[in-house]
Amino acid sequence: VQSEGLSASKAERVVDESVDRLVWYAGWADKITQVVGGANPVAGPFFNLTTPEATGVVAVLAPERSSLLGLVTAIAPVVVTGNTAVVVSSYSRPLAAVTLAEVLATSDVPGGVVNVLTGSAATLGPWLASHMDVNALDLLGTAGQTDLARDLEVAAADNLKRVRRAPAAEPDFTREPGLDTMTDFLELKTVWHPMGV
């Protein structure tokens, strides 16, 4: 209610949708490998297996307007696929992110998996984009800020980061997410093994 200026009933619906979204993503934790990876048919005496692996540390610029549902929708796919998230909260509405960080600190999420920073994407984004220990960058929170998004993409290119580009406008987070939100920060490793040797 305080963060987004919603009525009590709408705020309750956002919290319910956020919990449902977390449960939906959690259900993929033991399934994404089977859906994305698998045995590949090859013409030769080999086994060919593809397995997804986490990219590593993903910097997430959280949405500005949707401070809870948008935040959960940005963090959950990163974490459920085995990555670590460094999240820059909504600058104008940080309360939900700070509260979620407190919840995660006392839950079953291991320490250091989700790290929440408060501040502006314009200030923290360049540091994260150019940091050598950050492996990927989600520009969701720069929706509509084309100059900032472009500058961050250029900074990320200097050290070969994987980048999820900024949408033209903040998306409707009430829509059901797809698999691409999880696969954007996975790397596919393929192994060839001789057969019958």
The radius of gyration computed from the CA coordinates of the chain, to the nearest angstrom, equals 18
Give dist(CA 87, CA 97) in Å, integer: 9
Model pLDDT for residues 72-123, shown as the tens digit of each residue:
999 999 999 999 999 999 999 999 999 999 999 999 899 999 999 999 999 9
Collapsing DSSP to helix, strand or coil, 20 comes out as helix
Asked, for residue 125, whether it belongs to a domain, the answer is yes
**CATH number of the domain residue 114 falls in:** 3.40.605.10
Asked, for residue 3, whether it belongs to a domain, the answer is no
Give dist(CA 118, CA 141) in Å, integer: 13
Q: How far from the centroid of its chain's Cα atoms is residue 189's Cα? A: 20
Written as one letter, the residue type at 25 is Y
Asked, for residue 171, whether it belongs to a domain, the answer is yes
What is the domain range of residue 131? Answer: 8-194
Model pLDDT for residues 20-73, shown as the tens digit of each residue:
999 999 999 999 999 999 999 999 899 999 999 999 999 999 999 999 999 999
- The answer for 103, left when phi > 0, alpha when psi is -120 to 50, beta otherwise, is alpha
